[in-house]
Amino acid sequence: MQNDYTLILTRFNISPTASKVYLALLDLGKSSADKIAKKAGTYKANVYDALERLMEIGLATYIIEEKKKLYIPTNPEKLISNIEESKQKTIKDYETLKKDIEEIMPNLLAKYKSVKERDLFEIYKGKKGYKALINDILREKPKYWKGFGNLQVQEYFPYDFPKWFKNTKFMLFSTKSDIFLRRLKEAKKSVKVKIKFLPEDLYMPIVWTLFGKNLLILIYEPEVIALRIKSEQIVKTFSNQFDYLWKKLHNKFIITKKK
């Protein structure tokens, strides 16, 4: 059965070793590279290469505990999103693969849910990882994207933005600039946005936002990095703080609606 899973995963342009490493992670949960190598039946050096690939496409992440890096599997349902992303690109026999992955998905999900951390802390690197993260959260059907930022997501993902956020309301503390106003002009074509402006000299290279049941800390330069925190206590705390500040800041805000 494990070999069957490996064969299916390799059809996602994931190497056989990376496929084995992901399946090992689903069995183990949070683990060191040594344990993963033993479970996957491969060398530790190969595991590191495989984990880099898995993190690139959003199927694995890591945390640091007591100065030691531990790796964590992410939701296997992202594989279905990856199929959709690559439908016209690199994946052959789309319909057959979709059917195969849907057949094994209940077992993959059962493994994942049995080892999933109650509070999630995940790191995603690169645009592929970012896309995998957003597509995963969209399964929750979030209603709001609220936080601090200058709509960087619209500029970095202009083609995905309308599709991702067509049913999402944006509430943002932002700083006014020519770049921001250009992004806002594009964003308002597809989403509803409420903006409250902060002082223009407030530098905001790092974004934090609440999206569904997640707190996201987003860095777009020099490379795209996303930190996802899924903790009821943390999300509730940040949400309360945001709502308090939103009510207290009395300057006028812009409301833009999609046409």
Condensed to tens digits (0 to 9), the pLDDT of residues 210-238 reads: 998 899 999 998 899 999 998 889 999 99
> Closest by alpha carbon to 190, among 225, 163, 221?
163
- Read off the pLDDT of each residue in 189-198 and give the average, rounded to a whole number: 91
Q: How many CB atoms lie within 10 A of CB 153?
A: 26
3-class secondary-structure state, position 110: helix
Cα–Cα distance measured from residue 50 to residue 30, given in angstroms and rounded to the nearest whole number: 16
Question: Where does the pLDDT of residue 92 fall: very low under 50, low under 70, confident under 90, or very high at 90 and above?
Answer: low
Cα–Cα distance measured from residue 217 to residue 122, given in angstroms and rounded to the nearest whole number: 11
Cα–Cα distance measured from residue 3 to residue 57, given in angstroms and rounded to the nearest whole number: 21
Read off the tokens for 90: 């690199």
For 16-34, b/e burial (b = at least 16 CB within 10 A) is ebbbbbbbbbbbbbbbbbe
* Cβ 174 vs Cβ 187: under 8 Å: no
Question: Where does the pLDDT of residue 98 fall: very low under 50, low under 70, confident under 90, or very high at 90 and above?
Answer: confident
Read off the tokens for 76: 């296997």
More confident residue, 29 or 1: 29
Q: Out of 73-87, 104-118, 165-179, pick the least confident.
A: 73-87
- Amino acid at position 116, single letter: K
- Read off the pLDDT of each residue in 191-202 and give the average, rounded to a whole number: 88
% of the chain with per-residue pLDDT over 70: 90
Q: Out of 76-90, 112-126, 148-162, 167-181, pick the least confident.
A: 76-90
Q: How many CB atoms lie within 10 A of CB 231?
A: 17
pLDDT at 88 over 90: no
Query: What is the enclosing helix (H) or strand (E) of 63?
Result: strand 60-65
Domain 122-256 sits in CATH at 3.30.870.10
Exposure on the CB side of residue 8, measured as CA atoms within 13 A: 23
Q: Which residues lie across from 208 on neighbouring strands?
A: 148, 217
Cα–Cα distance measured from residue 3 to residue 9, given in angstroms and rounded to the nearest whole number: 10
More confident residue, 67 or 191: 191
3-class secondary-structure state, position 10: helix
Cα–Cα distance measured from residue 58 to residue 72, given in angstroms and rounded to the nearest whole number: 11
Question: What per-residue confidence (pLDDT) applies to 258?
Answer: 54
Question: Where does the pLDDT of residue 119 fall: very low under 50, low under 70, confident under 90, or very high at 90 and above?
Answer: low
Read off the tokens for 170: 């944006």
Read off the tokens for 214: 């997640």
Cα–Cα distance measured from residue 71 to residue 63, given in angstroms and rounded to the nearest whole number: 7
pLDDT at 132 over 80: yes
Domain 2-117 sits in CATH at 1.10.10.10
pLDDT at 21 over 60: yes
List phi, psi (to 5°) of 7. -60, -40
More confident residue, 38 or 122: 38
Cα–Cα distance measured from residue 249 to residue 31, given in angstroms and rounded to the nearest whole number: 45
Domain segments of the chain as ranges = 2-117, 122-256
Burial class (CB in 10 A: 0-12, 13-18, 19+), 164: buried
